[in-house]
Amino acid sequence: MSRLSQVFADLQSGKRKALIPYVVAGDPSPEGTVSLLHSLVDAGADIVELGVPFSDPMSEGAVIQKGHERALANGMSLQRVLGMVAEFRKDNDRTPIVMMGYANPIERFGYETFAAASADVGVDGLITVDLPPEEVDAIDGALKAVGLDNIFLISPTTPEPRVQKIVERARGFIYYVAVRGVTGSGQLDTDEVARSVSLIREKTQLPIAVGFGIKDAASASAVAASADAVVVGSALIAEMEQKAHSAESLEEIQIHGAAVQLLQSIRAGVDSSPS
C-alpha cells in the first residue's frame, strides 16, 4: 500500500481528517526547509505539499509568488528540491510528500528522469497546476510506471461530465480548488464546497482534499466537515513572512515557529469539525 493510501486508511479508521500544509521548497531558506517539514509533521501534518519554485507561478496569489521568488533567489532548482525530499526521508518514512508545481521545470528535467528520481527519493505524488487532463499523457505514463500518484485539480468551474473524466484518471486523492481565483484569494463559500465535494464523492472512492482560501481554524473546521483533507498554504507563508519582518536577526526556527503555531491551531480546528 502506498504511503498516501496508508495515511488515508489510518485516518478513516480513526475518523480523523487529514491536514496538508503547503510550503515552498527553499523558502525562507534552503537550509531550513527539511527541518520546517519535520516541524510541520510534529504540529499535526498528515501529508506535506512541497512547492517547486517557478519563475512564473501563474496560479499563485501574491504571498506564494513571493515565496517562489525568494526560493529562486536562494538558488533553488528541481534537483535541489529532490535532494530535500531525500534528506527528509532519512528521518521520516511515513509522511507522504506531494510535490506541487508547474510543467516547465519538470519538462526541462525530463518527465521520465523526473519520475524515476522522484520515486527514488521518496516522493509520493505530483500536482502540476498547468497540466490538465488534456496535456497530462506524457508525464502521467512516466509517473504510473514508477508508482507515483498524479493528483488532479477540480474547480468550481469544472462541469459535471468533466469531473467524471478527471476522476477516472486520478490517483492518490482529488484536489478540489475551493475558490475561483489564485492561492490565498477569495471568500470561501463552505456550502458550495460541501455541495461540490458530495458531487465528486458520487463519482469516486478517492479521498477529496480541499484547498485555496483556508486560512484559520474556523475555515479549516468548516471545510473538514465535508472534505477528507484540508490544504493550507498562503496563510502559513504569510505568517512566516510577517514573523520574519517583525524583528531583526531572528533565528530561522523562530520564523518556522509562526507557521507551526498556526498549523497547530488549524489542526485543532480540523479535529473539532462537526463531521
Partner 1 sequence: MTIEVTPELFASVPDQNGRFGRFGGKFVAETLMSALADLEQLYARLEDDAVFQREFDEDLAHYVGRPSPLYEASRLSDAIGGARILLKREDLNHTGAHKVNNTIGQALLAKYMGKKRVIAETGAGQHGVASATVAARLGLECHVFMGEEDIRRQALNVYRMKLLGARVVSVTSGSRTLKDAMNEAMRDWVTNVDDTFYIIGTVAGPHPYPMLVRDFQSVIGREARAQSLAQCGKLPDALVACVGGGSNAIGLFHPFLKDEGVAMYGVEAGGKGLETGEHAAPLSVGSPGVLHGNRTYLMQDDDGQILETHSVSAGLDYPGVGPEHAWLKDIGRVQYVAANDDEALAAFHRLTRIEGIMPALETAHAMAHTEKLAASMSPEQHIVVNLSGRGDKDILTVAALDGIEV
Residue 143, helix vs strand vs coil: helix
With binding defined as CB under 8 A, does residue 229 bind partner 1?
A: no
- Of the two residues 7 and 163, which places its CB atom closer to partner 1 in the complex? 163
Where does residue 165 rank: exposed (0-12), middle (13-18), buried (19+ CB within 10 A)?
middle
Closest CA to 105 of 144, 72, 137: 72
Integer Cα distance of 258 and 238 in angstroms: 9
List the one residue from 130, 189, 252, 271 that touches partner 1 (CB under 8 A): 130
- Which grid cell is 219? 475555515
Which range binds partner 1 by CB under 8 A, 29-37, 62-70, 88-96, 243-251?
62-70
Which range binds partner 1 by CB under 8 A, 19-27, 54-62, 117-125, 259-267?
54-62
Integer Cα distance of 264 and 195 in angstroms: 28
Integer Cα distance of 116 and 224 in angstroms: 34
- Of the two residues 97 and 154, which places its CB atom closer to partner 1 in the complex? 154
Binding mask 166-205 for partner 1 (x = CB under 8 A): x----------x--xxx--xx-------------------
Q: Which residues contact 246 (CB under 8 A, 6 or more apart)?
A: none
Q: Which residues contact 156 (CB under 8 A, 6 or more apart)?
A: 177, 178, 179, 180, 192, 196
List the one residue from 67, 102, 227, 266 that touches partner 1 (CB under 8 A): 102
With binding defined as CB under 8 A, does residue 78 bind partner 1?
A: yes
Binding mask 19-48 for partner 1 (x = CB under 8 A): ------------------------------
- Of the two residues 11 and 64, which places its CB atom closer to partner 1 in the complex? 64
Question: Contact positions toward partner 1, by CB under 8 A?
Answer: 54-59, 61-62, 65, 69, 72, 77-79, 102-109, 129-132, 134-135, 152-159, 162, 166, 177, 180-182, 185-186
